[in-house]
Amino acid sequence: MTKRKITQNFIIFSLLLLNFSFANGQTILEDSVMNGNNFQKAAFRLWIGKDIQRVRGVIVMVPGSNGNGRDMVYQPEWQALANKHNMAILAADIKDKRSPNMAIEQYADVKNGTGQAMLDVLNRLATKSGHPELNTVPFALWGMSAGGEFNYEFACWKPERVITFIVNKGGVYYTALASEATRAVPGVFLTGEIDNPYRNNIVKGIYSVNRRFGAKWIFAEEPGQGHEFAKSEAFTLKYFDEIIPIRLDENGNLKALSEKAFLGEVGTGKVAATGFKNSFTDITSWLPNTAIVDLWKTLF
């Protein structure tokens, strides 16, 4: 092999080792942790738009059970949202360890390993990308099924790092009653009318017990939908667009939600401002402004 060929191979190998790219000015990085306490693999891909000087937060995208969601960073609608709010995108590929029942996602219990794995990966990517602020910025967590389970458990584990989170038609959870700090984090719980009733009952049960104690969360059941995205992704894009400015200041610091909001009765869709007497008998959604009230109604 010639010296020139050896040099070329070394350059190619070095680039692959770094998993580093500046395609069209964008920053794209990858890193992973293998064989953790409650996972076989926790791999992540980071995307930062070319015009973002300082990252204010990270949109975290977690797919369904044992899925590889890393290509989700390339979706143009999510990139547009991230650019608008000066945020990065971090997409996951998490695999469970083999167990007798692979329908129980052990990795969703983030406090047992996967949560720290994500933070460790982001710490390394902060150095590689030249964005040290990634070590401290908060997360807007989006996902489907097991991804929603991961999101909820992360909000329970590190509420101080969460802008908002989505529970989307999942079924296995490790925390029933969330902490007061987690109940103060805006969350969205979504089920599908014709999804597995076990999933629906679990999601609605966790929502109901926490909403009883003041959780500032939203619930909706999509009519005629099963275990699928349906309207939820389009809803989430618009919801994130509304909730991120409410929750983040210009420096990427979290802001508490105002106590002034609206309550939406889940069974009827009726809405009343907080502080006003109402006759609601069904569980309610906590809706921070009129734009999110209108958005919530699109799910019915």
* In the predicted structure, residue 185 carries a pLDDT above the cut 90: yes
Q: What is the DSSP string of 256-285?
A: PPPS--EEEETTT--EEETTS-----S-EE
- Helix count (H) and strand count (E) of the chain? 8, 12
Bridge-based pairing state of the strands 27-36 and 20-21: antiparallel
Alpha helices for 93-196 (secondary structure H): 114-129, 146-157, 180-183
Tens-digit pLDDT profile for residues 25-53? 899 999 999 999 999 999 999 999 999 99
More confident residue, 125 or 250: 125
Residue 209, pLDDT score? 97
Place 22 in a pLDDT band, splitting at 50, 70 and 90. Answer: low
- 180 burial (CB, 10 Å; 0-12 / 13-18 / 19+) is exposed
Query: What pLDDT is recorded for position 191?
Result: 93
Give the H or E element holding residue 233: helix 232-247
Whether the CB-CB separation of 59 and 236 falls below 8 Å is answered with no
Residue 97 within any structural domain of the chain: yes
In angstroms, the CA 298 to CA 231 distance is: 9
- Is 16 inside a domain boundary? no
Closest alpha carbon to 190 in 215, 220, 217, 216: 220
| Within-domain flag for 57 | yes
Residue 20 and residue 29 in contact, taking contact as beta carbons nearer than 8 Å: yes
Residue 217, H or E segment: strand 217-222
Identify whether 294 is part of a domain.
no
User: In this predicted structure, what is the pLDDT of residue 13?
Assistant: 35
What CATH number does the domain containing 60 carry?
Answer: 3.40.50.1820
- pTM for the model stands at 0.90
With a pLDDT cut of 70, the percent of the chain lying above it is 92
Nearby residues of 53 by Cβ (< 8 Å), 6 or more positions away: 86
How far apart (Å, rounded) are the C-alpha atoms in residues 88 and 81?
10
Is residue 97's pLDDT more than 60? Answer: yes
Amino acid at 165: F
Q: Please, which pLDDT band fits residue 224 given cuts at 50, 70 and 90? A: confident
Position 99 in a domain: yes
Which pLDDT band, with edges at 50, 70 and 90, does 183 fall under? very high
- Structure token pair of residue 178: 């969330």
- Please check whether residue 216 lies inside any domain of the structure: yes
Q: Structural domain tally of the chain?
A: 1
List CB contacts of 227: < 8 A, sequence separation 6 or more: 145, 169, 192, 195, 196, 199
Query: What per-residue confidence (pLDDT) applies to 21?
Result: 58
Residue at 79 is within a domain? yes
Count, residues in the chain:
300
Domain with 87, as residue range(s), is 27-258
Does 8 or 134 have the greater pLDDT score? 134
pLDDT, mean over the chain: 90
Q: Which residues pair with residue 68 across a beta bridge? A: 93
Under the banding of pLDDT at 50, 70 and 90, the label for residue 23 is low
- Provide the pLDDT for residue 157: 98
94 membership: H or E segment, kind and range:
strand 87-95
Three-state DSSP state, 287: strand
The first and second tokens of residue 224, run together, are: 């005629």
Confidence of residue 231 (pLDDT cuts 50, 70, 90): confident
- Residue with token string 């500046």: 22
Is residue 4 a contact partner of residue 12, using CB atoms and an 8 Å limit? no
CA distance 142 to 69: 11
- Residue 264 within any structural domain of the chain: no
